[in-house]
Amino acid sequence: MNLKGLLPEPIIKPIKRIKYFIFGLPYRGTGRFCPVCEKSSVKFAPLGSPPREDVKCMQCGTFERHRLVWEFFKRKTNLFDGNKINMLHIAPEPFFEKRLKKAIGNGYLSADLYDKKAMVKMDITNIHFTDEYFDVIYCSHVLEHIIDDRKAMRELRRVLKSSGWAVIMVPINTETTFEDFSITTPKERLKIFGQEDHVRSYGNDFIDRLREAGFIVNTFAPFDICEKEDAIRFGIAKSVDEVFYCKKQL
């Protein structure tokens, strides 16, 4: 049962903690390590349809891509150096939000068009912040939901400082991006795009869209970020996700 909307948040939170504890019991042990919650598991739980093995941390809820990008933040960026920055986190994942708030402080801002728990309501095709406002932008698995993704990319570039950087991630499901805006029903979108609220399937040409929007883009696969032994421990060794690290083309 989905309790969201039926019970107040102060009651839902402890219920969720109890649920994670109970369902996490079979996974207690060593062999896998989540770098986000910093807890060990004998393995990660399967997820997806058809199910992928070694995906979900039953201690905090992260998937492969979350653990991948967290390691990227720690090893390849200045995010946790203690410097004063303004960070925009779009469609915030709960397990990231509380940790980023603690690390960054008042400069952290979460935003979402629909999620009321985000700090501000925001349409990323029309961002109400001045040019070059943010030092860091993190936007993961959002653009595949947006009709005018190119406009959203241009807006992200506009509000990013010249000295700043952005991590923009999407699921890559095909060789060439496919979109058809006549496909509008959830059932059709599930069949064609793999999820009821997706409006396209991105391909390897996603990087071209970022470049067209004015970004310089570098990609990082799991073994570009950490050693094989760590990648296996973190459950990201078989991940097909890549981190798209974007700087502003001047």
Q: Quick check: 145 and 124 in contact, CB under 8 A? A: no
Burial class (CB in 10 A: 0-12, 13-18, 19+), 134: buried
Instruction: Convert the pLDDT of each residue in 175-221 to its tens digit.
Output: 999 999 999 999 999 999 999 999 999 999 999 999 999 999 999 99
**DSSP line for 86-122:** -EEEES--HHHHHHHHHHHGGGEEEEESS-TTSSEE-
Domain segments of the chain: what residues? 1-62, 63-248
Write phi, then psi, for 32 (nearest 5 degrees): -125, 155
Q: Does residue 2 have a pLDDT over 60?
A: no
Cβ within 8 Å of residue 211, ≥6 positions away: 217, 249
Distance in angstroms between the alpha carbons of the first and the last residue of the chain: 50
Token reading at 131: 């040019």
Token reading at 233: 């421990």
Instruction: Convert the pLDDT of each residue in 110-161 to its tens digit.
Output: 999 999 899 999 999 999 999 999 999 999 999 999 999 999 999 999 999 9
**What is the gyration radius of the CA atoms in the chain, in angstroms?**
18
Instruction: Determine the Cα angle at 230 with ends 226 and 234, to 5°.
Output: 105
Token reading at 27: 């996974």
Torsion of CA 143, 149, 155, 161, to 10 degrees: 50
Q: Give the pTM.
A: 0.89
13-17, 81-85, 185-189, 230-234: the lowest-pLDDT one: 13-17
- CATH superfamily name and code, 63-248: Vaccinia Virus protein VP39 (3.40.50.150)
Q: Are strands 39-41 and 32-34 parallel, antiparallel or unpaired?
A: antiparallel
Burial class (CB in 10 A: 0-12, 13-18, 19+), 157: buried
